[in-house]
Amino acid sequence: MGVGKYRKIYSHTPTLPHSHTLSSFYMEVTVRLFANLRKYLPPDSDGKKVVLKVPEGITVREVASSLKIPEQFLQIVLVNGNNASLDQRLSEGDELSIFPFMAGGTGQHV
């Protein structure tokens, strides 16, 4: 675990995604989870978001996987407010927002 409000998502002997090595540089990204996805935030989060230290070039999919979010729950993904694919690489200071599938209404057209 990290110190303070920051959390390194990898332990002392990390299992890094194949595209990363132990000599990778780390960067900070903010992850915001919504609705029922908030249960995947780490205990040291504020309940809505967390700032993570991650290897440079990590993908959205890899961050979600590190938080143990099942891929089928990754329905709406934004990076810095723009639609993003699961394979999009993140950069220093990015804000990743993940929303679950949303449903509602009566199913009837007005």
Report pLDDT digits (tens) over 8-17: 554 333 344 5
pLDDT of residue 94: 98
Mean pLDDT over 45-67 rounds to: 94
Q: What is the largest CA-CA distance in the chain?
A: 58
- 108 in any annotated domain: no
Q: Which range marks the domain in which residue 95 is found?
A: 6-99
Residue 66: inside a domain, yes or no? Answer: yes
Residue 20 belongs to some domain of the structure: yes
| CATH number of the domain where residue 51 is located | 3.10.20.30
Residue 101, pLDDT > 90, answer: no
Query: What is the domain count for the chain?
Result: 1
The predicted structure's pLDDT at residue 102: 74
Tokens of 67: 């938080």
**Average pLDDT score over the chain:** 81
* Token duo for residue 85: 């694919």
89 occurs within a structural domain: yes
Indicate whether 109 pLDDT > 70: no
12 located within any domain? yes
- Give residues with Cβ within 8 angstroms of 102, minimum separation 6: 35, 75, 76
Write down the pLDDT at residue 20: 52
Identify whether 15 is part of a domain. yes
Q: How much of the chain exceeds pLDDT 90, in percent?
A: 64
pLDDT of 75 > 50? The answer is yes
